[in-house]
A = this chain, B = another copy of it.
Amino acid sequence: MNAGRPAPATPLVPVLAIVGVGLIGGSFAAALRNCGAVGRVLGVGRQPATLARACELGLIDEAVTLESAADQADLFFLSTPVGATETILSRLKPILRPGTIVTDAGSTKADVVAAARTALGAKIGQFIPGHPIAGAENTGPEAAVASLYRGRTVVLTPLDENTNAAKSYLTRVWESCGARVMAMDPRVHDTVLASVSHVPHLLSSVFMWQVATAHDSDIRMALAGSGFRDFTRIAAGSPEVWRDIFLANRAAVLAELQEVKAALGRAEQALQDADGEELENFLERAALARRFWGSRSGLT
């Protein structure tokens, strides 16, 4: 993209540290590299093989320890399962340099804010919680692509302690990845995500589990078509990541699930009554809403 143009003297992110170099972290690095917004990318993680692969793929320049990353990084991007956030931030606290900004990509935010306050104490102002609304069915560094965040929404749930400078810096970083940034309260974020992300994942997984464990699962799988494919796509996601999401956002997910079960009860009653008009009304409302959303979402 930058062929023929001189590289800027100082990139937006001179040194980036990614903790957890999978789909999300790897795509963040790739997106920033792609637009010339990053100088050097350091990778931190538990699994040497994953980090080696991320190096081979050119997502990171070097695998380093958390300590070495803290010495060098201008921006930390945490893209581990949300359950690991508090441990990592606790280890970061004593070694974090004053100018470094830390953000995350966790799918829940109220728990991350609480964990960050506990872990970082007086350094909490350096942490800006975030959640890019983007994903893919595959996981790991191989699945990372520079385009993952293009046209997608990134939610930031800034803290009172964050400076305006830090917030606009992180906004600019996400915008260089092609994303649009929205700020909101962490509890609102969690309630909304319980509805549009966590409950569908639970339903898709429960359904997939039920089909897979049925005595006649072979014939079921053989006759499963494109509707099944789409409906169950999210069930292939990382069990560890999703366990943490469900535990972290338990109350909101359980509350939202009651609403869905109530709606299901009404549809089931209409079916039991063979009430074609009621069934068609509800199917039509759902179809119109989905078509309208599809035409507006920008998601192909």
Contacts and interface: CB of A to CB of B under 8 A. Distances in A.
A214 B195 CA distance: 10
A271 B253 contact: yes
Given A208-B290, A243-B276, A289-B212, A228 B282 contact: no
Contact of A233 (B230, B240, B267): B230
Nearest to A266: B206
B231 A234 contact: yes
Contacts of A263: 206-207, 209-210
Contact of A228 (B136, B200, B221): B200
B209 A196 contact: no
B287 A239 contact: yes
B283 A207 contact: no
Interface in A246-278: 246-247, 250, 253-254, 257, 259-261, 263-264, 267-268, 271-272, 274, 276
A93 to B, nearest CB: 26
A153 interface: yes
Given A254-B272, A257-B268, A271-B250, A286 B209 contact: yes
Interface of A: 133-137, 152-153, 155, 182, 188-189, 192-193, 195-197, 199-214, 216-217, 219-240, 242-243, 246-247, 250, 253-254, 257, 259-261, 263-264, 267-268, 271-272, 274, 276, 279-280, 282-287, 289-291, 293-294, 296-297, 299
Given A224-B297, A239-B280, A243-B283, 6 more contacts: A196-B225, A197-B228, A200-B207, A229-B299, A230-B230, A257-B268
14 contacts: A136-B226, A137-B294, A188-B219, A192-B223, A193-B223, A195-B214, A197-B228, A200-B227, A205-B267, A206-B260, A212-B290, A229-B297, A230-B231, A243-B280
